[in-house]
Amino acid sequence: MSVPIYKETGIDNILPNAPATYGDKFQLTLWMDLEYCTGCRACTINCKSENNTPIGVDYNRVIYVEQGSYPDTKRYFVPMPCMHCGKPPCLAACPVGAISKNEVNGIVEYDTDKCIGCRYCTWACPFGAPQFNADKRVTQKCTLCSHKTIDAETGQPSGERPACVDTCVGRMRWFGDNNWLTQSKRKGRALRVGGTQTGAQPSVLYTDPGT
Question: Does 47 reside within a domain?
Answer: yes
Confidence of residue 91 (pLDDT cuts 50, 70, 90): very high
Pairing of strands 205-207, 28-33: parallel
Task: Output the domain CATH number for residue 57.
Answer: 3.30.70.20
Q: Hey, what long-range contacts does 118-122 have (CB within 8 A, 24 or more apart)?
A: 120/93, 120/94, 120/95, 121/89, 121/90, 121/91, 121/93, 121/94, 122/1, 122/90
Average pLDDT, the chain: 84
In this prediction, residues 60-69 reach a mean pLDDT of: 87
Round to whole Å and give the CA distance between 8 and 11.
Answer: 9
CA distance 183 to 194: 17
Domain assignment present for 202: yes
Tell me what the mean pLDDT of segment 95-108 comes to.
95
Which of 24, 122, 29, 35 has the alpha carbon at shortest distance from 77? 35
Are the beta carbons of 26 and 177 closer than 8 angstroms? yes
pLDDT of residue 179: 76
**The pLDDT value given to residue 95:** 97
3-state secondary structure of 132: strand
In single-letter form, the type of residue at position 73 comes to: T
Residue 6 belongs to a domain: no
Q: Does 91 reside within a domain? A: no
Nearest to 202 by CA among 61, 18, 45, 11: 18
Residue 34 in domain: yes
User: pLDDT tier at 60 (50, 70, 90 boundaries)?
Assistant: very high
Q: pLDDT tens-digit profile of 129-185?
A: 999 999 999 999 999 999 999 999 998 999 899 999 999 999 999 998 887 777 765
Overall domain count for the chain: 1
Residue 178 lies in a domain: yes
Residue 148: other Cβ atoms inside 10 A: 15
Q: What range defines the domain where residue 194 resides?
A: 16-84+142-206
Quote the CA–CA distance of 127 and 83 in Å, as a whole number.
8
Contacts of 6 by beta carbon, 8 Å cutoff, 6+ apart: 13, 14, 63, 78, 80, 127, 128, 195
* Lowest-pLDDT choice from 21-30, 74-83, 108-117, 127-136: 21-30
pLDDT tops 80 at residue 211: no
| CA angle (84 as vertex; 202, 178 as ends), nearest 5 | 70
pLDDT class for 16, splitting at 50, 70, 90? very low
Q: Do the domain assignments include residue 55?
A: yes
Strand residue runs (E) in 35-130: 61-69, 72-80, 99-101, 108-110
Residue 28: pLDDT over 60: yes
**Strand-strand pairing, 108-110 and 131-133:** unpaired
Lowest mean pLDDT among 10-14, 25-29, 79-83, 167-171: 10-14
Give a yes or no: residue 92 inside a domain: no
State yes or no: pLDDT of 47 exceeds 90: yes
Out of 2-11, 20-29, 126-135, pick the least confident.
Answer: 2-11
Least confident of 66-75, 111-120, 168-177: 66-75
